Amino acid sequence: MLGLGADRLRADMNRLLAFLFHQGVLDEQFLQLQQLQDESSPNFVSEVVNIYFHESEKLLRNLRGLVLEREFSDYKRMGIHLNQLIGSSSSIGAKRLTNICVAFRAASDQNNPTACLRALELLEHDYCYLKNKLHEFFQIEQQRVMAAGVRYPIQN
Amino acid sequence: MVKSWTPRLVFLGDGAKILLNLWKKITGNSCKIQHHYYQYIGTKRVRKSWWWKLLVIWVVLWTLVSLWVFWYMSSQAMEKRKETLARMCDKRARMLQDQFNVSMNHVQAMSILISTFHHGKSPSSIDQRTFAKYTERTAFERPLTSGVAYAVRVLHSEREQFEKQQGWTIKRMPEQTPVHKDEYNAEALEPSPITEEYSPVIFAQDTISHVVSLDMLSGKEDRDNVLRARASGKGVLTAPFRLLKSNRLGVILTFAVYKTDLPSNATPNERIQATDGYLGGVFHIESLVEKLLQQLASKQTILVNVYDTTNSLHPISMYGSNVSDDGLQYVSTLNFGDPFRKHEMRCRFKQKPPWPWLAISTSIGILVIALLVGHIFHATMNRIAKVEDDYHEMEKLKKRAEAADVAKSQFLATVSHEIRTPMNGVLGMLHMLMDTDLDVTQQDYVGTAQASGKALVSLINEVLDQAKIESGKLELEAVQFDLRAILDDVLSLFSGKSQEKGVELAVYIFDKVPETLIGDPGRFRQIIINLVGNSIKFTEKGHIFVTVHPSSGGGDGIHRMEDTGSGIPIEAQYRIFTPFMQVGPSISRIHGGTGIGLSISKSLVCLMNGEIGFASIPKIGSTFTFTAVFTTACSNTSELKNHQINTQSSSVSSEFRGMTALIVDPRTVRAKVSRYHIQRLGIRVEVVPDLNQVFSSIGSGKTVIDTVLIEQEVWDKEFALSTLFVDKLRKLDHGVPPKLFILTSSVSYTRSNSATSGVYTPTIIMKPLRSSMLAASLQRAMGVGNRVNGRNGELPGLSVRYLLLQRKILVVDDNNVNLRVAAGALKKYGADVVCADGGKKAISLLKPPHNFDACFMDIQMPEMDGFEATKIIRDMEHKINDRIQHGELSVEAYENVHDWHVPILAMTADVIQATREECLKCGMDGYVSKPFEAEQLYLEVSRFFHSVADQNP
């Protein structure tokens, strides 16, 4: 009974991942991340992702502040923040966020405040979306882990 | 275009020198022309009008020349014609004049005759009959006269007597009215009116006998004539007039007959007084001239007119038709002995002048030649212009083609790169899919799909390489590398496959090949991988043998790949280096691949200044040979070399030094290869062909045999013997019995053997032999004990693990997420990871002495980027090394390391960017793309850590 539930949950997880892949939200780097998770670090992925969200929220806050300053848009600092965000996003395989960040960076390179604002809004929207989806994913995983007892890791 | 070249000839004669000078001048000029011409090349229009003008000038000039020639020649002809006319005219005039003079002289002679015989005699001895007869008979002497008559001077006082004496009255000359010949009647004439004197004709030639008794003084012309004749004493001429009776045009010549001989200077009055009578001759000019002209040839070519021009305003025509013709005319004067009268002859050609055909044809010829030359010039210029336009067109097309080529290469590169990214997604998903619950068929499908995906990715990589090579963007680096290590790596990559197939894969490098070379190890690897990969693909049984031996030249080595595969069909041999060419369509179906590998290899070999070639016999095998030029590592790098040897192989060598191994192998070449690999570890090697010999060599007791390596072949063949052999070995009393190893190249053997032989299992060493793997196996066998080392043939992921195990690695990245991921990845490979979140922290951690084996550093960091941090670290290391060398710092304090140099690898997300050079410039040792790829990580890391076994604590 329990085994079956675990399998179903695992299928759900895979479906969700496939959906995110299909939408272009995630890329294979996320899989690589999952592969790094093993007995020695059972919660590696969720740890990394949590750090990512923590850092990203800070960066997004800063970015919003910078963009809303309007007159004195500090493009250099904006660029640094964006680079950080790009780096971390690509590390966890958040493909769509990476792409938006690249567009954002291009807009800031061109000193285009309206484009920056638009990119920022899109970025926040997608960030929330990703966050929700990954939360969902980890919830399912949590359930699965509970259902499967102590069967680590996901991938053998 | 004018070609300008100076011939390199040696002329000897002076003439030749002049010729040479002339030639130089000409070429010089032509150069100038060319130069001049090139100046115009910029603007086409100007150039065109330039030669158009020249053409027009040319045509006009030659038209003028031909016209001039025409004019000149026709004027010459005209001149000649004029001369001819003048000559003919003069001739005629002279003749006429001469004949006239002859006649005149004769008439004068007759006048003397009259004065002598008529007036001198009394009575006269001449009467009319005599006169007529005489004149008739002497007419031939006066060809121009039609008749002669004599008139006497009769004064009025003597008239009556005279008339009585003659028997007729003196008659008056009839009025000059047109009188018809037939109507003329002498009897009807009036008697002459009374005047002071008369001059009636008394004698006349028969032809003009009708004038007898006519008074000459009564006719106007005759009277003038008579008066002038007696006054001058010379012959005088009348103007031409219509003659009596005959009514034809004629002139009368009159001579006076004097009574006495007058002196030549007598006055006219004396002459008049002395006059006795007048002799007159009638000249029929027309018929006379006609007669005269008939005597001459070419009468018909010219027209002759004779005029009396005494009154120049109204010349009286004496002969010839009065044709008004303004053509060519020549006038020659006639002198008939009468100064009062002037006559002239006008000659004209009967025909119009003929067309000057010669002149016309010559000038037209000249014009035609000139036009032809002009046409040729025109055609040439047109052609040049056309060729030039074509050339420009070609140039444009060429540029476009080149641009298209560049665009193609870029497109290929971009597309390949773009395809790689989603392909990774596909592969990842497939990987995930494999982990789900699948039945066997599904597993198979997914496996196939994944294999295809991998093939596609490798194809894309190859295409990317090809595009890079074609666009010339591929540059070889020159770094120091260990040829043997690379070949070992390649062998390890293929060991799995070769073991599966049971094909023996071996490498043999001659001792003379230097330890380290300078070149591009990555590309060299690629070539070897391509060639060996091909060999493996096509070889089902037998061996693949890679040898490297130095060529006599020095730096370049000759690399041979020999296999016992299916060989290359002869008809396909010529195109195997052409990209995307395969032997046949079935090949790609059976063996896969794109056929691009050999082409890339060839290009790479060419870049290494080498050559590639092959010899292949179908069903026997192929041998690929290539040369590559590498520089030998020079003395200044020997330090580094020593360092490397110290850290890597020396530890191994020292461990095994002094040991002796025995190889049991009947095949000499294979034994040689095995020996080569074992010798690399510093072990002394002996070779014997079979097991029996082992004992003899062990038994000789000279040396202690520590290990015995037996070929699987021998072991299987003499299986019964082998058990015995093992027992025997154990019994040998040398304290420790020699370790027994079996060399095999087949995986299946490992499994089956370990399963069946329960008695004593010798350690199995999988071929291909590699020094590191061999060392590890030996170490395990001697140290740890009997453990099958089955790891060497596995995937690079595990190889990375193999390399990174227990390494202490510093990861530097400002981004926490990245830091965690990188650290996780490296931990996964077994490394001991320390994290640093910035360049400064990294510097403090890497300050010697430290115990980090390597450092992975992010390039883009806000405070201090990777390049800067690396520079500082390298500076630091350099200073410390210097101080150690100078003895300022003790080596002991720095863990006995003389040369601090921690490998620093850049981590970057931009792989395409030419960051590699920049990395190397800053003192980094390499770079890895940020989401770690096992393969790449392995490649980079393997350059520093050759084997985990080397430094196993």
> Can you spell out the DSSP letters for B697-724?
HHHT-SS---EEEEEHHHHHHTHHHHHH
Question: Hey, how many other C-beta atoms are within 10 angstroms of the C-beta on B231?
Answer: 16
Quick check: B87 contacting A, CB < 8 Å? no
Nearest to A87 among B427, B815, B828 (CB): B815
Q: Cα dist. B530→B458, B597, B624 in Å?
A: 12, 6, 11
**B396 has pLDDT over 90:** yes
**Average pLDDT of A7-34?**
83
**Cα–Cα distance between B33 and B50 in angstroms, integer?**
13
Q: Shortest Cα distance from A4 to chain B (angstroms)?
A: 12
Domain B796-942 has CATH 3.20.20.120: no
Of B3-7, B579-583, B886-890, which one has max mean pLDDT?
Answer: B886-890
**Cα–Cα distance between B800 and B890 in angstroms, integer?**
35
User: Which numeric CATH code is attached to B475-584+593-632?
Assistant: 3.30.565.10
Q: Shortest Cα distance from B668 to chain A (angstroms)?
A: 46
User: Which of A30, A36, A76 should we substitute to test contact with B (largest number of B Cβ atoms within 10 Å)?
Assistant: A36
Q: Which residues does chain A have within 8 Å of residue B436's beta carbon, measured at their own beta carbons?
A: 10-11, 14
CB B89 within 8 A of CB B345: yes
**Cα–Cα distance between B511 and B449 in angstroms, integer?**
45
Tell me the per-residue pLDDT of B174-219, one tens digit each, with 9 for 90 and over. Answer: 765 544 444 555 556 677 778 888 888 888 888 888 888 888 888 7
Q: Shortest Cα distance from B936 to chain A (angstroms)?
A: 15
pLDDT score recorded for residue B582: 61
Quick check: B428 contacting A, CB < 8 Å? yes
pLDDT score recorded for residue B332: 85
**Average pLDDT of B443-464?**
81
Residue in B closest to A81 by C-alpha: B862
**Cα–Cα distance between B506 and B498 in angstroms, integer?**
10
- Residues 791 to 820 of B: which have CB under 8 A from any A CB? 813-818, 820
Radius of gyration of chain A (CA): 18
DSSP structure string for B546-558: EEEEE-TTSSEEE
Nearest to B818 among A11, A47, A91 (CB): A91
pLDDT score recorded for residue B368: 92
Q: Shortest Cα distance from B835 to chain A (angstroms)?
A: 14
**Average pLDDT of B543-567?**
74
**Average pLDDT of A87-99?**
85
Q: Shortest Cα distance from B816 to chain A (angstroms)?
A: 7
- B437–A51 C-beta distance less than 8 A: no
**Average pLDDT of B439-460?**
82
Per-residue pLDDT band at B499 (split at 50, 70, 90) = confident
Q: Which residues does chain A have within 8 Å of residue B817's beta carbon, measured at their own beta carbons?
A: 48, 51-52, 55, 87-88, 91-92
Quick check: B825 contacting A, CB < 8 Å? yes
pLDDT score recorded for residue B12: 42
- Residues 839 to 878 of B: which have CB under 8 A from any A CB? 858, 860, 862
**A12 has pLDDT over 50:** yes
**Average pLDDT of B817-829?**
78
Give first-to-last CA distance, chain A, whole Å: 22
pLDDT score recorded for residue B300: 64
pLDDT score recorded for residue B781: 67
- Residues 87 to 116 of A: which have CB under 8 A from any B CB? 87-88, 90-93
User: What are the residue ranges spanned by the domains of chain B?
Assistant: 92-180+187-349, 359-447, 475-584+593-632, 660-750+760-782, 796-942
Which among B528, B549, B546 has a CA at the least distance from the CA of B608? B528
- Beta bridge pairs of residue B236: B254
Tell me the per-residue pLDDT of B583-604, one tens digit each, with 9 for 90 and over. Answer: 665 655 555 555 677 888 888 8
CB B677 within 8 A of CB B792: no
**B134 has pLDDT over 90:** no
Q: Shortest Cα distance from B863 to chain A (angstroms)?
A: 10
Q: Shortest Cα distance from A58 to chain B (angstroms)?
A: 13
Q: Shortest Cα distance from B413 to chain A (angstroms)?
A: 20
Token pair of B374 as six digits: 């002009």
**Residue B325 or B534, more confident:** B534
Tell me the per-residue pLDDT of B311-326, one tens digit each, with 9 for 90 and over. Answer: 777 777 777 776 666 6
**Dihedral of the alpha carbons of B799, B805, B807, B813, in degrees to the nearest 10:** 70
**B245 has pLDDT over 50:** yes
Quick check: B431 contacting A, CB < 8 Å? yes
**Residue B387 or B631, more confident:** B387
pLDDT score recorded for residue B699: 62
A81-95, B157-171, B802-816, range with the lowest pLDDT: B802-816
Q: Which residues does chain A have within 8 Å of residue B814's beta carbon, measured at their own beta carbons?
A: 84
- B425–A14 C-beta distance less than 8 A: no
CB half-sphere exposure, B269, CA atoms < 13 A: 0
ipTM above 0.90? no
**B445 has pLDDT over 70:** yes
**B394 has pLDDT over 90:** yes
Any idea which residue has 């036009």 for tokens? B371
pLDDT score recorded for residue B395: 94
Q: Which residues does chain A have within 8 Å of residue B930's beta carbon, measured at their own beta carbons?
A: 87, 90-91
Any idea which residue has 């990209």 for tokens? B579
Of A108-122, B51-65, B340-354, which one has max mean pLDDT?
Answer: B51-65
User: Which of A25, A28, A46 should we substitute to test contact with B (largest number of B Cβ atoms within 10 Å)?
Assistant: A28
**B473 has pLDDT over 50:** yes
Cis before B123? omega within 30: yes
**Cα–Cα distance between B136 and B591 in angstroms, integer?**
144
Per the document, the length of chain B is: 953
Of A30-39, B130-139, B295-304, B857-866, which one has max mean pLDDT?
Answer: B130-139
Quick check: A55 contacting B, CB < 8 Å? yes
Nearest to B821 among A7, A33, A38 (CB): A33
**Average pLDDT of A109-137?**
87
**B74 has pLDDT over 80:** yes
Q: Provide, rounded to the nearest whole percent, the portion of chain B with pLDDT above 70.
A: 75
User: Which of A10, A32, A101 should we substitute to test contact with B (largest number of B Cβ atoms within 10 Å)?
Assistant: A32
User: Which of B821, B859, B907 should we substitute to test contact with A (largest number of A Cβ atoms within 10 Å)?
Assistant: B821
Torsions phi, psi for B419 (to 5 deg): -70, -35
**Cα–Cα distance between B335 and B100 in angstroms, integer?**
9
Kindly report the average pLDDT of chain B as a whole number.
75
Tell me the per-residue pLDDT of B247-285, one tens digit each, with 9 for 90 and over. Answer: 777 888 888 888 877 777 778 888 888 888 888 888 877
CATH class, B660-750+760-782 region: alpha beta
**Average pLDDT of B625-651?**
54
- Beta bridge pairs of residue B563: B544, B622
pTM above 0.80?
no
- A18–B817 C-beta distance less than 8 A: no
**A78 has pLDDT over 60:** yes
**Average pLDDT of B818-844?**
80
- A87–B817 C-beta distance less than 8 A: yes
- Residues 402 to 421 of B: which have CB under 8 A from any A CB? 421
B388-397, B839-848, B926-935, range with the lowest pLDDT: B926-935
Any idea which residue has 């025109």 for tokens? B378
pLDDT score recorded for residue B393: 93
Taking phi over 0 as left and psi of -120 to 50 as alpha, with beta for the rest, A43 belongs to alpha
Same fold, B92-180+187-349 and B796-942: no
- B425–A28 C-beta distance less than 8 A: yes
**Average pLDDT of B439-467?**
80
DSSP structure string for A23-38: HTSB-HHHHHHHHH--
User: Which of B437, B815, B829 should we substitute to test contact with A (largest number of A Cβ atoms within 10 Å)?
Assistant: B815
Q: Which helix (H) or strand (E) holds A77?
A: helix A75-92
- B435–A156 C-beta distance less than 8 A: yes
**B6 has pLDDT over 50:** no
pLDDT score recorded for residue B660: 78
Per-residue pLDDT band at B581 (split at 50, 70, 90) = low
CB B423 within 8 A of CB B415: no
**B732 has pLDDT over 90:** no
- B424–A28 C-beta distance less than 8 A: yes
pLDDT score recorded for residue B720: 65
Quick check: A53 contacting B, CB < 8 Å? no
Quick check: A50 contacting B, CB < 8 Å? no
**A147 has pLDDT over 80:** no
The amino acid occupying position A123 is L
CATH architecture for the domain at B92-180+187-349: 2-Layer Sandwich (3.30)
Domain A2-33+43-148 has CATH 1.10.287.370: no
Residue in A closest to B863 by C-alpha: A80
**Residue B646 or B597, more confident:** B597
- B421–A91 C-beta distance less than 8 A: no
Q: Are strands B145-152 and B201-204 parallel, antiparallel or unpaired?
A: antiparallel
Per-residue pLDDT band at B867 (split at 50, 70, 90) = confident
